[in-house]
Chains A and B, each alone.
Chain A
Amino acid sequence: MLQIINFFIRNKNFLLFLFLLAISLSLTIQSHSYHQSKFVHSANFVSGNLLSLKHEITGYFGLRKENKLLAEENNRLRNQLELFTEASSLSVRISDSLTEDIPYYYRTAEVINNNYSKTNNYLTLKSGRKQGIQSEMGVISSQGIIGIVDQVSENFSTVLSILNSKSSISVKLKKSGHFGSLVWDGKLPNTLQLIDIARLASISIGDTITTDGRSTIFPKGLPVGVISNFKLDQGENFYIIDVTLFNDMTKTEYVYIIENKKAEEIKELETTTKNEY
């Protein structure tokens, strides 16, 4: 017994080292499997407040560009509104319950922390449960998609960026409707890879990629990027397509968070369908 205690005392440094190493490695492994980084994330009280303090100061530097983007977006939306009012004045209203039936609800949020230089990047938003944010909501900017909400606290939330090796978003070719998954190889912050597009699909450089609406996270037809390069994979059955994003992931100040009001219903249906088999 004494020998065991002596052994512990003699090797206490090494044992402490092993113990702490086990903790940190388990945290690392947890963070590498999707939706498991439950303990260490920046949406907690201390880091959330400190990061938003930092953003109070640094947020001023990009205001000119941010204003320009807002003006561009307003312009685009105005044009769409014009088309819409014209169309609705010409035709008969199809349904009066249109406003009640809108499945998507948008909220704005301020980005207080943004990574893009690592292989697993996250953003931190200054909106949380109090503002109605929930896990697995889609996040977009005025020009393209940003990611999916990961962890949510009272006042802050973290977003799994599309610049993350765990991220996979279902998208399609706007022209032909072929769909595939958008992933990131960890190299350039403005280029993502579109995989699982069959060889039969006709693609050319400059084709637009949009979201395909098969998931409950993003609505159909959001612009993502254009094809900048493509090649066949090793099996020569699928394309690996480089997609240049429309939005600049390195400069994101304000984002929209999309709530799909029918997500629960769809998920419930999907799980019951799965259970029957």
Chain B
Amino acid sequence: MSTNILIHSTRFLVLLLAQIFLFNNIDFLGFVNPYVYILFILLYPVNSNQLLFLLLSFFLGISIDFFSDSGGIHAAACLVTAFIRPVILKFSFGVSYDYNNVKVSNTPFGSRLTYISFLVVIHHLVLFNLEVFNFNHTILILKSTLFSSIFTILLCMVFMILFSKRST
């Protein structure tokens, strides 16, 4: 249990720093940035206290906001993603799947991809809607969501595969 706490707090810090110093500065094609810090929300144990999970997600988001001068957009996006996660879990791994024993890094590729894609797209949609905050720019919101989502999903899958052996 204590090793679990250690793993998750290290992951929290490492992802936060990586996001601020590395992934916020990629600017692929001038505007596409991956938001890889969402891995913390994706990989958080499924059977844990939901209350703590919501609080941690909020703090992760607001920490990113502090560094990127963006008000509360990351906090809101993280919060929505964390809140909606149980639904997506049930949807992508099936109701019959005993989801108390799901370990995201050991699931079949197809359902894992669905799980990641849904959460990433929801997160990005909330994020860019709040960032632009103007319905006249719907095309811009959708474009940013699409490109950033593809980038984030790709990187999340790669990181999961890279780090899965060590964490099991």
**Is A228's beta carbon under 8 Å from chain B?**
no
Chain A residues with a Cβ closer than 8 Å to the other chain, count: 42
Q: Which of A24, A25, A115, A119 contacts B61 (CB 8 A)?
A: A24
Say whether B75 contacts A20, CB under 8 Å. Answer: yes
**Is A124's beta carbon under 8 Å from chain B?**
yes
Q: Which of B51, B69, B83, B133 contacts A32 (CB 8 A)?
A: B133
Chain B residues with a Cβ closer than 8 Å to the other chain, count: 36
Interface digits, A34-55 against B, CB 8 Å rule (1 contact, 0 not)? 0001001110101100110010
Interface digits, B46-86 against A, CB 8 Å rule (1 contact, 0 not)? 00001100110010011001111111110110011001000
When C-beta atoms are compared, the residue in chain A nearest to B133 turns out to be A32
Which B residues are CB-close (under 8 A) to A42? 66-69
**With known contacts A25-B76, A32-B133, A17–B68 Cβ distance under 8 A:** no
Say whether B71 contacts A32, CB under 8 Å. Answer: yes
Complex: A186 Cα to B139 Cα, angstroms: 12
**Is A120's beta carbon under 8 Å from chain B?**
yes
Interface of B is mostly: helix
Say whether B58 contacts A186, CB under 8 Å. Answer: no
Say whether A20 contacts B73, CB under 8 Å. Answer: no
Complex: A250 Cα to B66 Cα, angstroms: 21
Say whether B79 contacts A40, CB under 8 Å. Answer: no
Say whether A17 contacts B54, CB under 8 Å. Answer: yes
Say whether B69 contacts A158, CB under 8 Å. Answer: yes
**Stretch touching chain A among B2-10, B27-35, B36-44:** B27-35
Complex: A47 Cα to B63 Cα, angstroms: 9
Contact surface of B with A, Cβ cutoff 8 Å: 20-21, 24, 27, 30-33, 50-51, 54-55, 58, 61-62, 65-73, 75-76, 79-80, 83, 130-134, 137, 140
Contact surface of A with B, Cβ cutoff 8 Å: 12-13, 16-17, 20-21, 23-32, 37, 40-42, 44, 46-47, 50-51, 54, 113, 115-120, 122, 124, 158, 165, 186-189, 250
